[in-house]
Amino acid sequence: MLVAGSANLDFITRVSHLPRPGETVLGPGFSTAPGGKGANQAVACARAGFPTQFFGALGDDPYAGVLRDSLRSSGVQDLCLTLPLPTGAAFITVAESGENVIAVASGANAGLTSTQLPPLQGTDVLVLQLEIPLETVQAYARAAQAQGVRVILNAAPAASLPVGLLADVDVLVVNEGELETLSGPGDLEEQLRRVQAQGPRTVLVTLGGEGSAALSSDLDGAALIRVPAPAVKVVDSTGAGDTYVGVLAGALGGGEPLEGAMRRATVAASLACTREGAQPSMPSREEIERGLQGGAA
């Protein structure tokens, strides 16, 4: 399993409620934690027990060392480049409800170019997101398809995609807002079918507390699959989406059927919601197995 994408140091502030435009909300302080969608998904995959590599770009600064240490301590093989740019940073505000807003300074992530291809030899699955340049994402997906590597794209954050990118994607994972960006308005199944017609064999949407749903042409009848989420007390949802993608990718790469992979990812994401932080919240394989056995999803 190879994850290619962004790595950031997260700066996290906790407040009573998310500020409205023009409003200042005071919090008691801030903390830092390793993050970035790519690195988060790699850590989630590795902690869930799947062999994982991560390819991205870091700066030549102290923040890079924090991110490398987190990858390695989580069991991820670090394949990151060092560029003469600042390491990426994310500024996260978390409300007491668990909701969050995030602003990202891309730094070295923006310096990852389409000519700096990840090492695909020996890789079965490549996981991508949209926190590195779109042309780089497209080049990576095309290179992976040319080598017979399965491509999983988490189209986040929401963006209009280059023509042809989805034709090189096997599994697309989005949330509701990202789905509407790609499909336009409509009922859920209609939206999924519109996006599926652009190329991906499987299109999966996460639905927050409602769980997730998917359409896949790999399944007989191509019926809509729905997997509910267990009820949990949400402490911080920052890492939930990336946990879902990382665990889903690992399970699919390990040969688990789509619905089983969705259930595993749902349990993992639900556990992540009960803890603070992105990478610090991601559960171990043992915790996920206990959740599955306990009927958490």
Q: What is the CATH number of the domain that holds 119?
A: 3.40.1190.20
> What token pair was written down for 177?
């807002």
pLDDT digits (tens, 9 = 90+) for 16-75: 999 999 999 999 999 998 999 999 999 999 999 999 999 999 999 999 999 999 999 999
Annotated catalytic residues are 242
Q: Which of 259, 262, 287, 261 shows the shortest CA–CA distance to 274? A: 287
Query: Under DSSP, is residue 97 helix (H, G, I), strand (E, B) or coil?
Result: coil
- Domain of residue 198, residue span: 2-6+36-86+109-293
pTM above threshold 0.85: yes
Q: How far lies 62's CA from each of 9, 67, 88, 281, in Å? A: 10, 9, 12, 23
**Residue 249 within any structural domain of the chain:** yes
pLDDT digits (tens, 9 = 90+) for 130-148: 999 999 999 999 999 999 9
Q: How many domains does the chain have?
A: 1
Q: Which of 35, 32, 33 shows the shortest CA–CA distance to 5? A: 35
Query: Under DSSP, is residue 264 helix (H, G, I), strand (E, B) or coil?
Result: helix
Alpha-carbon distance of 155 to 251, in angstroms, equals: 19
Query: Under DSSP, is residue 65 helix (H, G, I), strand (E, B) or coil?
Result: helix
**Residue 74 within any structural domain of the chain:** yes
Instruction: Check: CB of residue 75 under 8 Å from CB of residue 49.
Output: no
Q: How confident is the prediction for the chain on average, in pLDDT?
A: 93
